[in-house]
Amino acid sequence: MMTDLAAQLAGACLAAFEAEGLDARWGAVKRSDRPELADFQCNGCMGAAKQAGMNPRELAAKIAPHIADNVAVARVEVAGPGFLNIVVTDAALSAGAEHVRTDDKAGGQAAFAPEKIVVDYGGPNVAKPMHVGHLRAAVIGDTIVRLLRFMGDDVTGDVHLGDWGLQMGLLIIAVMDEQPDLPYFETDNTGPFPTAPPVTMDDLSRIYPSASRRSKEDEVYAKRAQQAVAEMQAGRAGYRALLKHFINVSVAALKVDYSFLDVAFDLWKGESDVDPLIAPMVADLKVRNLARLDDGAWIIDIARDEDKKDMPPFMLVNSRGATGYHATDLATIVDRVEQIGPDRILYVVDARQSFHFEQVFRASEKVGLIAQDRLEHLGFGTVNGPDGKPFKTREGGTLRLADLNTLALEEATKKIGEAKLSSDMSAEERGVIGKLVARAALRFADLQNQRTTNYVFDLDRFTSFEGKTGPYLLYAAVRIKAILRRAADNAHKAGAIVVASDEERRLVLALDGFALALRLARDKRMPHYLCEHVYGLAQAFSTFYAACPILKQEVEPGLRASRLGLCEAVLKQLETGLSILGITAPERM
């Protein structure tokens, strides 16, 4: 297997430090900060010399020849206080580019030790409309699934619907008040019940907010909702049948919103699916003395001696006999262990839920399900408005995902018009392209931020064809496709890549960074490393294309073939990277 140059040089460098009896970690290599001087650099000599009481420049002079031995290296120079500046050969770059062009993974590498991983993301709540926060869970989670899968992990993505909490009780009583004669509300009716749902998605979106508001002001109403959830959880047939309808109606609507963003799930399970596992789980924990009765509730103690903060117990069953967010999450781990047996479970959920996950993970470890260090909460920041506060619509409400998609499509269509793109296409083709641009805009705007930070929602900027945006990247890919199409029309073929000019070298060095970007993105569970990479690659292509003519008459055929080969390599890697980000470029635009 051919590794990237950065990794190959790091290998040589690590060995060089070891050969001098020093710690291998000093051999880390990165792309040079001064591309006009070198391609890569190693800064380890200063630290290593300090630790070993040596002179850093003398040490660098000893290390340099070891690195220079590597076939990929043209020369190594000691600079300043002891930097090692490394220049690679044109031949190594040419071979690297050729590899990207022919490799299935476009130069991306497989994971070092693939794992079986469950990713829990999306987490929309039945009936409650999804809001921009759920956009992040969906887009980041879907991207992590694509990334891990690309690198060879065995991944199962689960939407984990919120379909077991108080909102279900609110819906039940609200429907009861509107349509009291439905069979679901007859006390002793055990079914069968009608197969057609008694409500539409519009009904649910209308009913839920008003029921939720009322429950906050009207205590009797809130009690009725609690009672309804308790009965539903206890298995009342009519309520269970209603729950199924609510879920089916919601899931159909969710699938539409998610498909706009090209977000997919392997499993459409929800909290309610693990209900049958809860009673046996609680019974087992009682027998094993892991659960104890406290003021009428069944709890698990998860505090530890070394805790600095207060760690309240884990709530299995509350004093009203109901189970909530804690119990469903623990039972879901039981289910995943039994059904899938993962090495790890990743939860892509708002950072504000970190305490909840700390509790769930401790409980999982305590009861012997999965160790805490194999459960990861991948928290993300908030989507804010221009005022820096969580994003709200002009009317002051949270923006629903469906409306967000529509807004993004409108804005993308406007930008396509302004940029005078797609003007020769049919309305239908333009519609398809508008969707691809809107999706690229929303996904890239989210993913390019470091996952844990907040970002400001700005559709105008997200949909722009200029700057660090999804549409810019689509434009870059489409431009390369146009070059290759024109070449084919003129019977110009791509051929062996021979790197010569500075712009070509930098473009291939950019290609070389793909493997590292993927490794970082996977190791840190941070898609923005990949965003940085594809953006840098698109920019390097732009610089190359401005300086290196390809199709012009005067270009010598061998050079043209090489540059076309380079175009193919770049397009392949760009589209591979974009596909991991869930972004698809059209053929023309």
* Residue facing ligand ARG at closest CB distance: 123
Q: What single letter denotes the amino acid at residue 343?
A: D
| Segment 476 to 535, residues that bind ligand ARG, using CB under 6 A | none
Return the number of the residue (72 or 399) whose C-beta is nearest ligand ARG.
Answer: 399
Q: Would you say 525 or 588 has its CB closer to ligand ARG?
A: 525
Please give the full DSSP string across 297-363, using - where no structure is assigned: EEEE----TT--S--PPEEEE-TTS---HHHHHHHHHHHHHHHT--SEEEEEEEGGGHHHHHHHHHH
DSSP 275: H
In whole angstroms, the minimum distance from the beta carbon of 209 to ligand ARG comes to: 15
Cα 36 from chain centroid (whole Å):
35
Comparison of 167 and 405: residue with beta carbon closer to ligand ARG: 167
135 to 174, contacts with ligand ARG by CB under 6 A?
160, 162
Torsion on CA atoms 295, 299, 301, 302, rounded to nearest 10: -140
* Interface region with ligand ARG, contact rule CB under 6 A, candidates 83-91, 119-127, 381-389, 420-428: 119-127
Distance of closest approach, residue 219 Cβ to ligand ARG, in angstroms: 25
Closer CB to ligand ARG, 3 or 372, in the complex:
372
Please state the closest distance from residue 327 (CB atom) to ligand ARG, in A.
11
To the nearest 10°, report the CA torsion of 135, 136, 140, 145: -50
Buried-state track 35-56, b at ≥16 Cβ within 10 A, e below 16: eeebbbbbbbbbebbeeeebeb
* Least distance (Å) between residue 282 CB and ligand ARG: 19
Q: Which is nearer to ligand ARG, 379 or 536 (CB)?
A: 379
What is the closest distance, in whole angstroms, from the C-beta atom of residue 234 to ligand ARG in the complex?
22
Looking at the Cβ atoms of 150 and 347, the one nearer to ligand ARG is 347
The three state secondary structure string of 383-398 is EECCCCCECCCCCCCC
State in angstroms the smallest separation of the CB of 163 from ligand ARG. 9
The one among 96, 107, 108, 123 contacting ligand ARG by CB under 6 A:
123
- CB 576, min distance to ligand ARG, A: 30
Nearest distance from residue 346's CB to ligand ARG, in Å?
A: 10
Which window, 65-73, 109-117, 120-128, 142-150, contacts ligand ARG (CB under 6 A)?
120-128
Question: Of 349 and 517, which has the nearer Cβ to ligand ARG?
Answer: 349
Which residue stretch of 4-12, 117-125, 183-191, 227-235 sits at the interface with ligand ARG (rule: CB under 6 A)?
A: 117-125
Closer residue to ligand ARG (CB): 123 or 129: 123
Q: CA 6 to CA 579: how far, in whole Å? A: 24
Q: Measure the CA–CA gap between 347 and 377, rounded to whole angstroms.
A: 5
d(CA 379, CA 144): 13
Interacting stretch for ligand ARG, rule CB under 6 A, among 118-126, 422-430, 455-463, 484-492? 118-126
Q: What is the dihedral of CA 296, 297, 302, 307, to 10 degrees?
A: -60
Shortest Å distance, C-beta 314 to ligand ARG: 14
Supply the minimum distance, in Å, between the C-beta of residue 329 and ligand ARG.
5
Whose Cβ is closer to ligand ARG: residue 325's or residue 455's?
A: 325
Between CA 271 and CA 278 the distance in angstroms is 11
Smaller CB separation from ligand ARG, 103 or 376? 376
Q: Cα(545)–Cα(30) distance, rounded to whole angstroms?
A: 25
Find out whether 457 and 551 touch, Cβ atoms under 8 Å: no
At residue 72, the 3 state secondary structure works out as: coil
CB of 440 to ligand ARG, least distance (A): 26
Nearer to ligand ARG, 98 or 271 (CB): 271
**C-beta of 120: minimal distance to ligand ARG in Å?**
5
Of the residues 43, 125, 359, 469, which one makes contact with ligand ARG according to CB under 6 A: 125
Map the footprint of ligand ARG across residues 310-369, applying CB under 6 A.
Answer: 329, 347, 349
**How many residues at the interface with ligand ARG, by CB under 6 A?**
8
What tokens appear for 545 in the block? 């294309």
**Among residues 347 and 514, whose Cβ is nearest to ligand ARG?**
347
CB 133, min distance to ligand ARG, A: 8
**Closest by alpha carbon to 452, among 377, 386, 388?**
377
* Chain residues 429-458 in contact with ligand ARG, contact rule CB under 6 A: none
CB-neighbour burial class of residue 202 (10 A; exposed 0-12, middle 13-18, buried 19+): exposed
Q: Whose Cβ is closer to ligand ARG: residue 120's or residue 203's?
A: 120
CA–chain centroid gap for 448, Å, is 10
As a whole number of angstroms, the distance between CA 129 and CA 339 comes to 30
Supply the minimum distance, in Å, between the C-beta of residue 564 and ligand ARG: 48
Build a one-symbol-per-residue string for 179-218: x at contacts with ligand ARG by CB under 6 A, - elsewhere: ----------------------------------------
Q: Cβ closer to ligand ARG: 128 or 439?
A: 128
Cα(first)–Cα(last) distance of the chain, in Å? 37
CB 357 within 8 A of CB 377: yes
Question: Counting contacts by CB under 6 A, is residue 120 touching ligand ARG?
Answer: yes
The CA angle 569-574-576, to the nearest 5 degrees, is 95
What 3 state SS string does 463-500 have?
A: CCCCCCCHHHHHHHHHHHHHHHHHHHHCCCCCCCCCCC
**Footprint of ligand ARG (CB under 6 A):** 120, 123, 125, 160, 162, 329, 347, 349
